[in-house]
Amino acid sequence: MFEKVLIASRGEIALRIHRACREMGINTVAVHSTADAHAMHVRLADEAVCIGPPAAADSYLNIPAIISAAEITGAEAIHPGYGFLSENANFAKIVAAHGITFVGPTSEHISLMGDKIAAKETVKRLGIPVVPGSDGGVTTEEEARRVSDEIGYPVIIKAAAGGGGRGMKVAQTAEDVGTALSAARTESKAAFGDDAVYIEKYLGKPRHIEVQILADSHGNVVHLGERDCSLQRRHQKVLEEAPSPALNASQRAEIGERVSKAISGLGYLGAGTIEFLYENGEFYFIEMNTRLQVEHPITEAITGIDIVREQLRIADGAPLSFTQDDITFTGHAIECRINAEDPNTFVPMPGQITEYHAPGGLDVRVDSAIYSGYKVPPYYDSLIAKLVVRGGNRNECIMRLRRALEEYVIGGVPTTLDVHRALISNADFQNGSYDIHWLENFIANRE
Ligand code: MV4
């Protein structure tokens, strides 16, 4: 096993990775910007290297500085966390070229899944159901009209280089296709420097359900079930749960097996997430994430598997420490993302934490890098904590979550804690009856 791993991230996820390393006897190297000199991930790591000024472009995205930090400290591997360089194929390639192990898939697989058109074609060939739409990209209005007329309206035009909802345009009728196409292409070009787009049938009220997989270098692939991430606001996930209230055990096993088989065929390595829209009992692939995800702890909570530990073992060439038959799904888990934001406008509100008390007790996990006196910097994502609660079933989980949210005290900055308190008291939430648009309406109609 590696003796030393560099963690190319910050905040709660840097801490999460540090904890896995510690338990495995691996020494850690933190990298940080000047704004993060007093951050918890720096305080806990065995060594820390300052890699640049506050702006992420000059620090957490500064590839030469991060490679230098790894070389100077003698780190044998780099874990990229999520965000920043985690899905940057060029970074993965440079890391490998320096004889350092990238904790993640190959640069080629990152690149393939980064191209949404190529990703969709590839998984379709491997037996994964996809949303009906264009075969590959579309460029001209005639082509877009022809495809749209064939699949039926409404349609959605998406950026090949996209993700996160940017460069997406819906056309309700044939008359809207031309406008939607040029808008999507212009937006994609501006956001990603690439105007390639593709077309899909627009699904009106789907859920967002994603399947977690792990694949080792010995040809073993397992799935760890699904997470329901439908509760989002402006493409930012707010609360996630596992299992999905919409699936039963046989549906779970069926999609899980399909996904595992496809991932085997792909020769993929490491942790990954296959995202689907789910409507009327059918799954439709949309994207694959080639990184550790923010919401991975809810899967850990119901499987007992340490996903980061497995990532490190896989990167080191070890086989998975269990088979699919060893994996059982026990109970229910929910994650609340707590952001330093105005709870009404969701505008980030950085500042100093003046008071802090985290909840605890049985099956209550808090992943956070904040502490009393800590100054939340204005330069990065506003996520400051993840409250992850498990229960024997969904109702027990919600009861325990309510109790944990009541205990949680964060003073000095406004947070989204009250959003979660209101959300879990709502009858639709309690019944598990929601889709990807439900939360926007809930937020708009509060009080
Ligand atoms: C869709 C869709 C409806 N139909 N594709 C948004 C982000 C991107 N990753 C995929 N997205 C969507 N793709 C088809 N064919 C609706 C969305 C969508 C969405 C998806 C997941 C979670 C929240 C969402 C909010 C708005 C739109």
Which of 277, 283, 438, 439 for a ligand 1 pocket mutation test, highest count of atoms within 8 Å of Cβ?
Answer: 277
CATH class given for the domain over 132-201: alpha beta
- Our answer on whether the CB atom of 163 is closer than 6 Å to any ligand 1 atom is yes
Using the structure block, give the residue that is written with the tokens 């009404």. 344
**Side-chain half-sphere exposure of 46, counting CA atoms within 13 A:** 18
131 SS3 class: coil
- The partner residues of 133 in beta bridges, in order of sequence, read 200
CA distance linking residue 403 with residue 436, whole number of Å: 26
Domain with CATH 3.30.1490.20 in the chain: 132-201
Q: 165 C-alpha to center of ligand 1: Å? A: 7
Q: Which residues are catalytic, by number? A: 291
- Our answer on whether the CB atom of 165 is closer than 6 Å to any ligand 1 atom is yes
Nearest CA to ligand 1 atom 6: 165
**Side-chain half-sphere exposure of 312, counting CA atoms within 13 A:** 29
Residues of the chain with pLDDT below 70 are: 447
- Our answer on whether the CB atom of 228 is closer than 6 Å to any ligand 1 atom is no
Asked if the 4-85 domain carries CATH number 3.40.50.1000, the reply is: no
User: What is the reported pLDDT for 62?
Assistant: 98
207-446 folds as D-amino Acid Aminotransferase; Chain A, domain 1 (3.30.470)
- The DSSP code for 206 is -
Domain with CATH 3.30.470.20 in the chain: 207-446
- Our answer on whether the CB atom of 339 is closer than 6 Å to any ligand 1 atom is no
pTM for the full predicted model: 0.98
User: What is the reported pLDDT for 59?
Assistant: 98
Cis check: omega of the bond before 319, within 30 degrees of 0: no
